[in-house]
A and B are shown apart, each in its own frame.
Chain A
Amino acid sequence: MRRRAVPKANSTAVRSTEGSPVSFLAIDNVSFTYPLWPPVVRAVDWDIAEGEFHCLVGRSGCGKTTLLKLAAGLLHPDTGSIRLQGTELRAPGPQLGFVFQSPTLLEWHRVIDNVLLPVSLQHPPTPLEIGKAEQLLTLLGLSAHARHYPRQLSGGQQSRVALARALILEPALLLLDEPFAALDAITRGELQDDLLQMCSLRRTTVMFVTHDIAEAVYLGDRVAVMDRGRIVRDITIGVGKPRTPAMRYGAAFNSHCAQLREAMDMASA
């Protein structure tokens, strides 16, 4: 399964890290096929600059989750390469934060221990790190729930814990796979604002997969539209930053939504 791509010629030797802004995450001509299935990701090129928030939209089954897993190093491309800060990505690691579709909390651990899981797998958490986890929970409005178990929390609160867990190691790159899809509109809005705030605070680079057009426009600096394994459109979102809930009803926001919708319709036509 773990086929590694052989770079064609040596055209893309390590890019210079000085001078022109080097992309933080560089996806270069990446294809991926699960055994015995048609290709899921086909010749995708995509660059994310440091500190940018990119959204990846597309219909179910278009390959967006697979692309995200490739970017995380959970899967390895058949051809092409994925480079993080100029070095080829070989395996997942602490420089990456990943949030799954469901919160995937460990139900036998308290909330605080769930947040500290990435730390405790490396070494017993220090008081400093515990303090950091508590601070994260406070930022996400969960300070009262630190000693509770996940089952005592609502769906939105569980998603927040999963977010805190992904942020505890202060990853440079955060990858999210439809993390808020199962939440109601109001909770989802709150979590979107929390996410934007946390990421701009740390200048985290983000790749966010969603099938929700309004969510993509609200969160993203740039949106990639994916269809049948290819990225078919690249839309820059020109809505002011920081985003505020009121913007959701503005003309600029809605015209971007319409544009994105049109791009998705054209793609699947």
Chain B
Amino acid sequence: MKLTRTRMRVGSFALLLILLTLWELAVHAAGISALVLPAPSAVAHSLWMGLSTGYLWPHILATSLELLLGLSVGCAIGFASGLAMAESKLLQGLLKPYIIVSQVIPKLALMPLFIVWFGFGMTSTVVITALICFFPLMENTVTSLQQVDPQRLELFRMLGATRRQTLLRLKLPAGLPGILAGLRVAVVLALVGAVVGEFIGASKGLGALIIASQGMMDTPLMFAVLVVIAVLGLALYQVTLSFEKWLLKPYTQTP
């Protein structure tokens, strides 16, 4: 049997159904308390209630907003500083140690400080999300721009291209696939940043809701929120993939 894409998808979905059924049966058979491991049906019920009563929506909205704000700010700064460091050896030499230090410190360890600086709530979470997204984009931008084929650089010199033209017409297009790979990593990390940031620094958002559901001993709700986070992450990843595919069209399409 040939492994087509559709077959893989169907198989993948079937596996999910089997696992959920086994889970459901196991929970009922073993009589596990919903506090420890709720059955999928209980999670689905909790999820449906949360969505239909509108209880979940403000939290989803808050997390999405933090995610998008943090992602845009972090990626913009990451790209800009990557560009600056790739173009200037001086800047790279000066800034690199600081950037590495800022990245080896666990971001979460900074959250209490951010709460002191920016207050309890959205700003702190956005800052931490941005800080997390910044690094992969900067690293990939620097590496991609510096790995341009030397013969192509000589070609541009040969043709009398200015530094600006070499950047815009050679280095950036040549580095685009690498930069977009960094964006993909940043998107995944951004969701982690937003949710974990909310654990500590927010009263609204999906991360805060997980902590709240733990306090309320509402484990089905906790699972429901995890499902929402997973869906949000998948959706965002798919959007990024489509964006990447669209940008890289000239690199891949066969007219």
Residues of chain A touching chain B, judged by Cβ–Cβ distance below 8 Å, are 69, 72, 74, 91-94, 96, 98, 100-102, 104, 106-110, 117-118, 121-122, 147-149, 152
Bound-state Cα–Cα, A108 to B151, Å: 16
Contacting A149 at CB < 8 Å: which of B155, B173, B250? B250
25 contacts between A and B (CB under 8 A): A72-B158, A74-B154, A74-B157, A91-B160, A92-B159, A94-B160, A96-B158, A98-B155, A102-B151, A104-B149, A104-B151, A104-B152, A106-B152, A106-B173, A107-B251, A108-B174, A108-B251, A109-B250, A117-B159, A121-B159, A121-B161, A122-B160, A147-B255, A149-B253, A149-B255
Q: A108-B173, A109-B250, A121-B169 are in contact. Are A92 and B158 (CB under 8 A)?
A: yes
Chain A residues whose C-beta falls within 8 Å of the C-beta of B157 in the assembled complex: 74, 92
The residue from A93, A100, A117 contacting B154, defined by CB atoms under 8 A apart:
A100
Of the listed residues A72, A94, A106, A148, the one surrounded by the most CB atoms of chain B closer than 10 A to its CB is: A106
What 3 pairs across the A-B complex have the smallest Cβ distances?
A108-B250, A92-B158, A98-B158
- CB pair A104–B158 under 8 Å, yes or no, is no
* Inter-chain contacts of B176 with A (CB < 8 A): 108
B238 within 8 A of A: no
Q: Give me the interface of B with A, judged by CB distance under 8 Å.
A: 149, 151-152, 154-161, 165, 169-170, 173-174, 176, 250-251, 253-255
Q: Is the interface of B mostly helix, strand, loop or mixed?
A: helix
Residues in B neighbouring A72, C-beta threshold 8 A = 158
Chain B residues near A148 (CB-CB < 8 A):
255
9 other A-B residue contacts (CB within 8 Å) besides A98-B155, A118-B159: A69-B154, A74-B158, A92-B159, A98-B158, A100-B155, A102-B151, A107-B251, A121-B160, A148-B255
Q: In whole angstroms, how far apart are the Cα atoms of A110 and B253 in the complex?
A: 11
A96 to B157, CA, bound (A): 12
Minimum CB distance partner of A119 in chain B: B159
Q: Which residues of A contact B161 (CB under 8 A)?
A: 121
Assembled-state Cα–Cα distance A109/B170 (Å): 11
Q: Which one of B149, B165, B250, B251 lies within 8 Å of A121 (CB-CB)?
A: B165
Contacts of B149 in A (CB 8 A): 104
Q: Give the chain A neighbours of B255 by CB distance below 8 A.
A: 147-149
In the complex, A117 Cα to B152 Cα: how many Å?
A: 12
> Closest A-chain residue to B173, C-beta based?
A108
Q: Which residues of A contact B159 (CB under 8 A)?
A: 92, 94, 117-118, 121
In angstroms, Cα B149 to Cα A118, docked, is: 18
B252 to chain A minimum Cβ distance, whole angstroms, is 9
Query: Contacts A107-B251, A108-B250, A148-B255 given: A93-B160 contact, CB under 8 Å?
Result: yes
Residue in A100, A107, A108, A118 whose Cβ sees the most chain B Cβ within 10 Å:
A108
B251, closest chain A residue (CB)? A108
Q: Which residue of A lies closest to B154 (CB)?
A: A74
Chain B residues closer than 8 Å to A69, beta-carbon distance: 154
A98 to B155, CA, bound (A): 8
Complex Cα gap A74–B155 (Å):
10
| Distance in angstroms between the alpha carbons of A74 and B160 in the assembled complex | 11
**Which A residues lie within 8 Å of B174 (CB)?**
106, 108
Q: Residues of B contacting A74 with CB < 8 Å?
A: 154, 157-158
